[in-house]
Amino acid sequence: MPRFSANLGFLWTDRPLLDRIAAAASAGFKAVELHWPYDVPAGLVKQACEKHGVELLGINTPVGDAAKGDFGLGALPGRQSDFAKSFHQAAAYARQSGASSVHVMAGVVEPEAKPEATEVFARNLAFAAAAAPDLTLLLEPINQRDKPGYFYSTIAEAAALIERVRAPNIRIMFDVYHVGVSEGDILTRLERNLPMIGHVQIAAVPSRAEPDEGEIAYGAIFAALDRLGYAGWVGCEYRPRAGTDEGLRWMKTLQVSL
């Protein structure tokens, strides 16, 4: 049975971050993952995780200037120095908080800039991998419905970058929700890319709610992860239909446990 982590970017958002860590532990989670925790000192996050006995898996790189439309900097031509600063910030925070991985966000790119952006992202990833060999760098394609213009939306694009950069600490973040919206054929893509996968995330398609509704048969996904020998965590990155605690009934519905 997969091991489930609580994504505190979406779960228990009615309370401060440190209280979310406590809530996740109280619900039975043994691991958590964060989005952008930078307004809370890393040392306090580490203390909270240690106090409540949960492992901190990962964080995202800063988005950049959200007011100007930034949603990551990794693939933005002309913003290499901004990316380097943001990555150093993320890596330092990860080390100080106890996180083991960083999702390197690519950003929104105009279609005509895609070839140049691909070169930029590859060089930035090579730099980041060398700068933080102690951390796992995760690449997550994001579907175009949720984030129009995001640099990439397919698992094949992430895999091509990994094969090009050839750094041992770069892996795929296989978000079943994004794969389902963008491409489908989830089980085939999961099996084909398993050697490159560093983390898995889940949510219902198309609603992004708890994974007990919609198009994806998550019982089959979990069985495939077991059959394939996936030993990592499965991040619960869904938007609860109502309260987070009430929504955890999905585990009983799907006959899984923490």
CB 71 within 8 A of CB 64: yes
Rounded Cα–Cα distance for residues 90 and 225 (Å): 29
Per-residue CA distances from 78 to 25, 65, 119, 204 (Å): 42, 14, 12, 37
Look up 140 and say whether it is catalytic.
yes
Considering 33, 55, 112, 140, which one is annotated as catalytic? 140
- The DSSP secondary-structure symbol of 62 reads P
Look up 112 and say whether it is catalytic.
no
Considering 110, 183, 215, 237, which one is annotated as catalytic? 237
Report the relative pairing of strands 55-56 and 31-33 from DSSP bridges: parallel
Catalytic residues, which ones?
A: 140, 237
